[in-house]
Every structure is written in C-alpha cells, then in structure tokens.
Structure 1
Amino acid sequence: MKIISANLNGIRSAAKKGFFEWMAAQSADFVCVQELKAQFDDMQPEFLAPEGYYGHFHYAQKKGYSGAGVYSKQKPDAVFIGFGNEEFDNEGRYVRCDFGPLTVISVYCPSGSSSEERQQAKFRFMEVFLEHLIELKASGQEIVICGDWNIAHKEIDLKNWKGNLKNSGFLPEERAWFSNVIGEVGYVDAFRCVEQGAEQYTWWSNRGQAWAKNVGWRIDYHVTTPALAAKAKQVAIYKEQRFSDHAPLTIVYG
C-alpha cells in the first residue's frame, strides 16, 4: 500500500509544474493533498478526479486559502469533510475517508508564523484537534493522518534548530503537543520507523537560498496507528522536481 502526502501550495500552480503527471506515474493507492488555495469553481476536472482516482475535498470559505483533499483508487465507504469544529472547518483543513478498517485523513494544520493572532489560532487548533485524535484512536480503525502539521518535532527535524527555538513551528509547546500525540495518545511518526537520519526535510523557505543549501524543516508527516506504522517499509521525499515549497512524502506499507 503506497500513500503520498503533498502540500501543493496552490493546486493550480502545482498542476502547471507537473504534479498530476508525476502523481499518475506513482500509482499510489492514496494521495493526500493540502493547501489547495482553490474553491470548487476553480477546480478543473483533472483536479477533481484524475484518471483512476476518486477525489474528496474540503474548501476554505476564504478564497485562495488553505484547503485539503484525498485521492483514492477505490471509492470510500464514508467521507467526512471537516472534524466538527466551526472555526477550523471554515478554513478547509480536514478530509477523512474510510475504507473498511482503514481511515485515511488529509490535514492541513494552521501555521502561526504570520502573526501572534494566527499563533493563538494554532494553539486553539492544537487543543481541539487533540481531542479529535483521541476520539479517532478509540474507534479501533487503522488510521493514517497525512499532512502538513506545521511543527518540526525534534532538533533533527530542522537544519537551524538553535535559531528557531522561539519561532512558530518549533516552539516548546508545539513540540510537547506533538510528543503527546505520538506518545501518550498512541500514534506513531511512521517515517521515523524507517528513516532515522538527519537532513530529511519536506519544506524549505523561499527566502535566501534555503532550497539550494537544504536549510529545511520536516513538517509533513504520516501519523499512524502502531500496527500500520509497523508495516512501513519504504520512505521517500521527492525532490527531483519542485511542485511547491514542500516536497511530496511517500511511504510504502507492507
């Protein structure tokens, strides 16, 4: 089973850069996308249902903002758009698709880097989303939550960790929250079950020469239930082409 997570930083922009041609060549079972920056009226037929895939999407009320989606080769048994919180459901951040005992979720967690107001919104999201994650875990489903979590968990997960200790995405409160999700709550960072090495980044700032110098952050994850994480066999961060400021993260589960 092959699952891809990709923050597109605009689905129309990523499409022009060849994302859907690349996606077709991957033949993944599931592709979770984030940051569509589009409304339904902006979506081309090939965005809504690429050949061989069903697509389900959550659009933000604000135009050109946020958005998430799940592509799947098989039709879901059930689809949930949003996770039941009005503030963040209005921002288009969550799609859940159920396939028998398997739940596949695409999530785009808020960034707090633009202002203190957005950082406070991020903290509110973390609080309500943690409650949701606990409920999900209790469902008994095998779960994979793919997406841009906008948190680098450990020092190994970003190049310049010392310089970012007081910056959104690497704040102590955010890292402790993520540790709780993949510790006490009982989820697993599936990527680290396979790859423990440094400099495994999925996002690079557009400022300076971050991409050229690989000054990156690992903020895109597959967060899974333990039994699914135990089946993780191969991981890949695709950097041969650039579809956005993020790189697609692929994990193959045996």
Structure 2
Amino acid sequence: MKLVSWNVNGIRATLGKGLPEFVASERPEILCLQETKAREEQVALPLEFGGYHGFWNSAEKPGYSGTAVFTREQPISVKHGMGIADHDREGRVLTLEYPDFHLVNVYTPNAQDELRRLPYRMQWDDAFRLYLLALEATGKPVIFCGDLNVAHNEIDLARPKDNRKNAGFSDEERASFTKLLGSGFHDTFRHFYPDKTGAYSWWSFRGAARTNNVGWRIDYFGVTKGILGSVKDASIMPHITGSDHCPVTLTLG
C-alpha cells in the first residue's frame, strides 16, 4: 500500500506541471496534498483522478493554504480541522479514519520572516500534538503526513549554520518537533535512513537551489509505534518537479 504526500504549492498550477502524469505513473492508494490554494469547485480534475474519492479542506481566505486527500478506499469518516476555531480557518488539517489507522494530512503554519508568527506556530504545534495523541488514545494507530515546516536536525538541511534562527530551523520549532516525536511518533524516513545526507524535499526558487540541491527536508510521514512494524519503506522523490516541494512516500505492508 503506497501513500504519497506532496505540497503542490497550488493544485491548479501543478495540474499543468505533471501532477496527472505522476498520479497515473505511481497510482498511490492515498494521495495527500498540501497548499492546494483552491476550493474543490474551482478545480477541474483530470481523468487520472477518476478512481479516487476526494476530500478537501480549504482556507477561508481565497487562494491560500488548504489540504486535500484522494483515496481509493472510502474512509470510515472524515474530519476537517482539529475542532479548534483559532486553528481551523486555514484548512490545514484533514483526518481520514480507516479500519486499521487514522491518517492526518497537515500543512503546518510557517513561522515567517523574522519569526513574526512563531508564537502562533508554537500554539499550533502544541494543539496538533495533543490532537494526534487524542486520536491514538482511541486505540487505533495514527499516521500523519505533510509539510511540517521544520527541518528537525542539521542533517535535514544543506546549510544549518546559516539558518539557525530562521523560520523552519529555529531552536523553538526544532524542540517542538522533538517533543512530538518524544510523545510516541516516529519519523519514518529517518527510521530507515538515519544517516542519509542530501535528502531534501523543499528548495527555494532562488539561486538555483534545486539544481545545486541546497534544500531542506520539511515534509514527513510520521507514525505511532502500533503501525511502525507495517511500514516497509519511506522515500523522497526529488526527481519529481512541478512544485518547490517534491513528493514523499510511505509504503505499508
């Protein structure tokens, strides 16, 4: 069973930059998208999406943020947001329940330049961690995926010293992600590839960053211990273009 997560930086743009061909080639059982920047009724999906059930959580602000999940199997239930008004206006969380697990697609807020949104980001991180733990407390394993907007350790970005106090690599954001993992979640890519360098999922559009692989690993699949034994692989697909992010995958046995 293949799950794919991809921040598409605007689904309407990415539909013209290889997304349909990617879906046709990879045929994932579940496709989670972030930063869709559109409402469902604004998007004319191609034939490649014909075998999927689609679920959307769009931001109140037009053309901003948003998440979507396309799944071959009809889920048991779908939840939009975390049930917290202050955090649910930007369409950042979409939860699907399946017989064997909860799947949470997330687009974490960016702390922004000069960390001006960091206080809100810290509130968000706490709320999201508690939300995941509440799902796990139901007795069913949890998988979360998406753009977490943090490079956890120095190995997860090309220039850690230059970015120490920048959004996505601040001490506060890194410590918060450590706390999330410490609460019982596993970074699946590092589970399989703990020492792999140069493995990134996002590159700036500036300075030929992607060509030179000056990137960050900020897109994740995380799982609770109860399903870790079923995880067969986790991968990053830097050769897939169409966005400033590339897809990341999880394979369940």
TM-score bucket (shorter structure) = over 0.9
- Aligned twin of 2:122: 123
- Aligned twin of 2:43: 43
- Deviation of the 1:116 alpha carbon: 4.1
Contact 2:185 2:225 in 1 (8 A): yes
Q: Give distance in 2, aligned partners of 1:229 and 1:6.
A: 21
Compute the TM-score of the two structures, normalised by the length of structure 2: 0.94
Contact 2:34 2:67 in 1 (8 A): yes
How high is the sequence identity, in percent, across the aligned residues?
37
Pair 1:147 & 2:151 matched: no
- Aligned twin of 1:53: 52
For residue 14 of structure 1, what is the amino acid of its counterpart?
A: T
Q: Give distance in 2, aligned partners of 1:133 and 1:241.
A: 29
Cα distance change on mapping 1:89 and 1:46 into 2, 3 Å: farther
Q: Deviations over 1:101-121 (max 9, x none)?
A: 311111000001245442222
Compute the TM-score of the two structures, normalised by the length of structure 1: 0.94
Pair 1:193 & 2:186 matched: no
Aligned-residue CA RMSD (Å): 1.6
Greater displacement, 37-46 / 9-18: 37-46
- Deviation of the 1:80 alpha carbon: 0.3
Contact 2:113 2:166 in 1 (8 A): no
- Deviation of the 1:218 alpha carbon: 0.4
- Aligned twin of 2:68: 69
Q: Give distance in 2, aligned partners of 1:114 and 1:105.
A: 27
- Aligned twin of 1:86: 85
1:251 is paired with a residue whose SS is: strand
- Deviation of the 1:192 alpha carbon: 1.3
Q: Give distance in 2, aligned partners of 1:25 and 1:110.
A: 31
Contiguous gaps of at least 5 residues in structure 2: none
Contact 2:2 2:251 in 1 (8 A): yes
- Aligned twin of 1:15: 15
For residue 51 of structure 2, what is the amino acid of its counterpart?
A: G
